[in-house]
Copies of this chain bind each other. A is one copy, B any other.
Amino acid sequence: MRGLSPRERKRPVNSDGPGSVKRPARPRKRTLGRATIADVASAAGVSPMTVSRALKDSSLVTKELRDRVAAAVAELGYVPNLAAQTLASARSNLVGVIIPSLSNSVFIETLTGIRDCLSVAGYQIIIGETVYSADHERQLLSTHLSRAIDGVLVTGVELDPDVKRSLEQRSIPLVHMFDISEDPEALSVGFSQWQAGYEVGKYLMARGYKRPGLIAGQLDPRSLKRIDGYRKALSEGGIAQFAEILTPEATSIALGGQLLWRQRVAWPDCDAVFCVNDDLALGALFECQRRGVQVPKDLAIVGFNDLPYAKLSVPTITSVTTPRYEIGFQAAHLLLRQMTGQPLERRSIDLGFKLAPRESA
């Protein structure tokens, strides 16, 4: 300790003087026994502030003190208390991420992108699943607010007005993902869902399919936009009546099979189906295989998102490749710039999508 007298841990001492009328409460120990910054400080023979600085930005502290601090940290197994840090600095280094569902693997890569971008900047993420419910979303945001998040990433461009207000009120930066906001003020990273649906429709028409149908579950805003774009393309191709099965049920491979068959029964003359996501498409493909419907000869199938199995199934599934990882990464990057007050080149980033023609259509 190089002759430096270690400082005492400062705690008010109960010097109950003779003049005191009421007996003041004794100082109470409420500590957990974990090493604190004060422990490190006294072990290193410096002030807590020096420890704090050495830990944050070592360039502010001389090498000698820095080394002493490092040694003390290692020796005591000191782990900073982020609750205290958050309270004192009013920064949590926490970013809230709101996604519809973890079971929809579409969002997993996005989470990875977010994490890859944010972790190097020292941020952690807390994930909230809305389960496609606005109520849940509101609830989640409130929880996130109580954790004092520094920013939020939310799936979709539509947001509950109350939620929006409380974020603005606290000036918590927000970036939308998976779609492009119409609001010029809003930050968003994604692609045009409508356009993607439109191009699927155009593609099927161009391939010569005469009677394309559609199956969809979930019916979240993004699916609805794809459906809308798809319809537009069909109308432009002269198709007036849509052969669609829509249901609010949660999407799944199993649901794909069910919807496909309902669709077949209702419109046996359809020669193609757009499944608004790949899980539905895979389920539809399995159902066709089981029922002896040849894909694409009897029925063409198009999925959406290009999940890993789309290029591996037999036949491979025509789908739309979406930049899921990139959406997460870029959205996080944009949020980072906003949180740190850096200038933004643009407020919305359209990452596009890509139709991937394969064997099924």
Q: Is A314 an interface residue (CB 8 A)?
A: yes
Cβ–Cβ contact B108 & A148, under 8 A: no
A-B contact pairs, 8 of them (CB 8 A): A80-B146, A81-B146, A82-B146, A84-B87, A126-B126, A254-B308, A254-B312, A289-B314
Q: Is A30 an interface residue (CB 8 A)?
A: yes
Cβ–Cβ contact B82 & A147, under 8 A: yes
Cβ–Cβ contact B81 & A87, under 8 A: yes
Cβ–Cβ contact B308 & A290, under 8 A: no
Name which residue of chain B comes closest to A92, CB basis. Answer: B83
Cβ–Cβ contact A83 & B148, under 8 A: yes
Checking B79, B112, B129, B254 against A142 with a beta-carbon cut-off of 8 angstroms, the contacting residue is B79
Complex: A115 Cα to B140 Cα, angstroms: 13
Q: Is A318 an interface residue (CB 8 A)?
A: no
Q: Is A102 an interface residue (CB 8 A)?
A: yes
Cβ–Cβ contact B108 & A147, under 8 A: no
Binding site for B on A (CB under 8 A): 30, 32, 34, 77, 79-84, 86-87, 90, 92, 102-103, 105, 108-109, 111-112, 115, 124, 126-127, 129, 142-143, 145-148, 166, 169-170, 252-254, 257, 282-283, 286, 289-290, 308-309, 312-314
Known: A147-B82, A148-B83, A166-B77. A90 touches B30 (CB 8 A): yes
Name which residue of chain B comes closest to A311, CB basis. Answer: B254
Chain B neighbourhood of A169, CB < 8 A = 77
Cβ–Cβ contact B103 & A103, under 8 A: no
Known: A87-B87, A103-B105, A103-B108. A79 touches B145 (CB 8 A): yes
Chain B neighbourhood of A145, CB < 8 A = 79
Complex: A148 Cα to B147 Cα, angstroms: 13
Chain B neighbourhood of A83, CB < 8 A = 82-84, 86-87, 92, 147-148
